[in-house]
A and B are shown apart, each in its own frame.
Chain A
Amino acid sequence: MSLGKLVLKNIKMNLKNYGMYLFSIVFSVFTIYTFFALGNSDDFLGNLANNAYFESLFQSFAWVILFVLFFYLKYINKQFVKSRKKEIALYSLFGVSNTKIGAMLFIENLMIGLFGLGIGLVFGIIFFKLIGTLFVNILGGSAFITTVPFAVNWKGLQITSVVFLIYFIIIGLFSLVTVNRSKLIDLFQAENVGEKQVKGSWFLLILSIVLIASGYYIACNDNPVVLFAAVLLILLLVIVGTYLFFTSGIQVILNILRKSKKYILKGDRLLVISTFKHRIRSNAFMISAITVLSAIAITLVACAYGIYYSSNENAKMDSFYDISYQMVEGTEDYHQEIKNILEKNNRSILSDQVQNFAQLDVCNYQGSENYCTQNTMYLITDEDYNDLVAHSLIQRDPLHVEENELYIWQSGAVITTNLPIESITLEDKSTYLAKPLGKDNPLPNVFRYNTSVLIADEATYQKIVANNKIRSVQKIEFINYEDSKNSETILSEVQAKNLSISMYYEYYLSAMIAFGTMLFIASFMALVFMIATASLLYFKILSTMEEDRDYYRLLDNIGTTEKKKRKIITKQILPVFLCPLMLAMLHATFAIKSASTVFGLWGLSLWKPSLMMFGIYTFIYLIFAYITIRSYQKRVLKGTN
């Protein structure tokens, strides 16, 4: 057996131990290939209007993920080398120089890396069709080529291979240097042995709970402006609170349990709690980081999901009708053109109406009673408004306006940039309170931005029109037609004719593309993140296995049965996964609540996507907990008798 043979033999024998390490590599490669391939897929996103957008989006995210994955892989490699300390120590003891051991690890590392790269790419290629199809479907399907070709994306393949090759070399060099520097005695000595007991502190426990609770409290605020300003504060409170909780707070709780004789002397609790305490302590930083980041990931996906599923509703609110346009100079033949296009596509017109809006000068007050802004606004009667709404894409209860009362509708930009308008003075010096038309009662975006529309009852309308100068009358035509959700050809013909009209389908499509991509990327990244953190916990726990063996040998000596030992191991490991999981879900619940306030997602039921994310998250963590427990049991118990 030469050194080279030994490396091979080692890999073969360690195959089981490599399992998770290999998995991490395969999984990283798979993710990166998929992202690069999606970003370079001219072949199936080719007929999408702006596929440069996707290219840059996917590639940017690919690089971001790559950046994170580097540290992930490096960390995992470190844990992996650490778990093989004994082997390395023996090699060194039998006179193999550190340089040679380092070289051996380097070669080994490179070999596993290449192997993992190969498998990862194969998976990436196999599943690309599936993922690409999924992506296209999320984007709204029919607008794009729906059959994603089964093809190897050479550009993605090249970038992925080169980057990972560089990674493996760098990481290999790191472990080479580490081994080269390490002293023999350090390799033989167990880590953290005799670590001193932390008492934890009541003060820090209470402080951590207070910090987290106040973070939650602020997050429940209903005012989006206040909440937006406090986002950083909330994050800070919760992050610090979480960290203190895991470093010190939880220790107090465990200490209390430990001291309570009634509790601790029953069954295996002493063993379970003391080990759990140690694990939480030595991984406190990592566990708190995982908790906070998981909560953020869940929140992002839940919001992205909510926004995505409201795309259609938003598009309807924005467009109001399938087609609308302002009848101004140069639009005289629009009516005919639109009719022709619809006829050509075999779509019958469902409704077609023209509405007049009277334009007049007003002076409006915002916040202060002394200062008024000169402006022009449109005016219609409540009857007309209700008629318009009745035929529109959305369903709303009719609006009833009392005499001498005005409702005001302001287009998006006005609301967010300025204070709401409170009252209005007309040319004839008559003043009206302006009741805001709720966010849910829309008017068409055909007015574009910075427009306000006033709604009055018939009598008031007549009075205003009679006493004030009407600048002009704005006519808008509103059309609805069949099956407007599938209008890609209609849209392209409208664009070809250069008609400047507002189309529901265009809003819908752009919302689906923007939010669909957002949802896709957010979900993918969240998934990557969850799997990565779960596998980190796996490595963390298994890396001390060699040292823990003594502990279980001791249990042997006091006559613990195998079954009992398995149970103890399960009880010791499971909470390491469950603690961050539960706290993260609690954090996420409040984060989602505040995010929906800030981004105005009230109307969306975010509980569905949230529950879904909680489910997936729990599922992944439980699977990894199971794998961790199983391999731990297998290896620790195997070495004992």
Chain B
Amino acid sequence: MLRLENVKKTYVSKIGLNKYEALKGISFEVEDGEFVSIMGPSGSGKTTLLNMLGTIDTVSSGAIYIDNVDLTKMKKKELSDYRREKIGFIFQDFNLLNTLTLKENILLPIVLGESKHKIDFKKLQEVTKKLGISHILNKYPYEVSGGERQRTACARAIITNPKIILADEPTGNLDSKSSQELLSMLELLNKEYNITILMVTHDIFAASYSDRVLFIRDGKLYNELIKEGPRKEFFDAIIDFEATLGGGVE
């Protein structure tokens, strides 16, 4: 359902003197309902890649197909619709509005939308219960813990029934317990709701939850590992692979 063809991204500084090629031609495919992790050293272009997929930024060349429609050819309005209807974002730094309660934050994408979605309180109930935040919905983000905020961001990402969730280091700020809870939640979303997940992470433990790990290095796809057995085995496999990289990955 998701296919990248030779995607390149070059950052040009404001004056145009400095150019930096952050993505040097990346191609891969993601199946419907797959849970994919993206790993790689800092500065290798992971966030850049995610931004391209989320249409937060534009590609310099190449094509990104979603259900065989090329994102890079879409107009502004279509992009808005695409973002609203198909994608859920989970950011590394939550991006919750401090002026809204958790509930309002979660419902924000729907409230804002010329969205087809109606506010589905049953779904809100269900999602927040699963995420274990249903009892704090009327609190403000600054009144709850980091893990609860991250789970709120997660709820916000899935409330619109997206087909794809893009998550940038979602466990980066969490302690191991919260991080485990969040990952279980993502796994559940993936398995039960058949949502495709792309998750950037530095954390091998987090990556081991996914079906496949893509390694990026210097703006290029370097390798991939596919989960074939239980998680523990996959976890070891990733560690082994990283060891062969010779410490290139944190």
Kindly state the separation between the CA atoms of A528 and B115 in the bound complex, as whole angstroms: 47
| In-complex Cβ contact of A95 among B57, B84, B146 (8 A) | B84
Check B76–A97 contact: CB distance below 8 A. Answer: yes
Minimum CB distance partner of A3 in chain B: B112
* B98 x A550 contact (CB < 8 A): no
* Stretch of A83-91, A243-251, A416-424, A473-481 with 4 or more beta carbons under 8 angstroms from chain B: A83-91
Q: Is the CB of B56 within 8 A of A188?
A: yes
Instruction: Give how many B residues have a beta carbon under 8 Å from the other chain's beta carbons.
Output: 31
Chain B residues with CB below 8 A from A1, complex form: 104, 107, 111
CA distance A638 to B141 in the complex (A): 9
- B112 with A638: CB separation less than 8 A: no
A95-B80, A185-B56 given; A550·B93 CB < 8 A: yes
Partner of A93, one of B56, B76, B81, B142: B56
Interface string of A427-464 (1 = CB under 8 A from B): 00000000000000000000000000000000000000
A93 to B90, CA, bound (A): 11
Number of interface residues of A (CB under 8 A): 29
A-B contact count (CB 8 A): 66
Do residues B97 and A93 form an inter-chain contact, with CB atoms below 8 A? no
Q: Does A50 contact B (CB under 8 A)?
A: no
Nearest CB in chain A: distance from B159 CB, A: 10
Q: Is the CB of A638 within 8 A of B109?
A: no
- With A90-B108, A97-B80 already in contact, the answer to whether A639 and B51 are too (CB < 8 A) is no
Contacts of A6 in B (CB 8 A): 111-112
20 further A-B pairs in the complex, CB-CB below 8 A; given A3-B112, A97-B80:
A1-B104, A10-B99, A17-B99, A86-B97, A89-B95, A92-B80, A93-B54, A93-B83, A94-B108, A94-B113, A95-B80, A95-B109, A95-B112, A95-B115, A184-B56, A184-B57, A550-B93, A635-B98, A638-B142, A639-B141
Residues of B contacting A638 in the complex (Cβ-Cβ under 8 angstroms):
98, 142
Shortest CB distance A312–B (Å): 58
The reply on A130 being an interface residue by CB < 8 A is no
Cβ contact of A96, chosen from B55, B80, B95, B146, cutoff 8 A: B80
A residues contacting B by CB (< 8 A) are: 1, 3, 6, 9-10, 13-14, 17, 86-87, 89-98, 183-185, 188, 550, 635, 638-639, 641
* Distance to closest chain B CB from A110 (angstroms): 20
Query: Could you say which residues of chain B place their CB within 8 Å of the CB of A550?
Result: 93
B135 CB–A CB distance under 8 Å: no
Closest Cβ neighbor of B81 among chain A residues:
A95
Query: Which B-chain residue is minimally distant from A2 (CB atoms)?
Result: B111
Q: Give complex CA distance A95, B119 in Å.
A: 16
A635 to B85, CA, bound (A): 33
Which residues between 208 and 244 of chain B lie within 8 Å of chain A, taking CB atoms? none
Q: Which of A17, A93, A550 has the most CB of B within 10 A?
A: A93
Query: Which residues between 175 and 200 of chain B lie within 8 Å of chain A, taking CB atoms?
Result: none
Q: Which A residues lie within 8 Å of B113 (CB)?
A: 94-96
Q: A184-B56, A185-B56, A639-B142 are in contact. Are A95 and B83 (CB under 8 A)?
A: yes
B97: nearest chain-A partner, CB-CB: A87
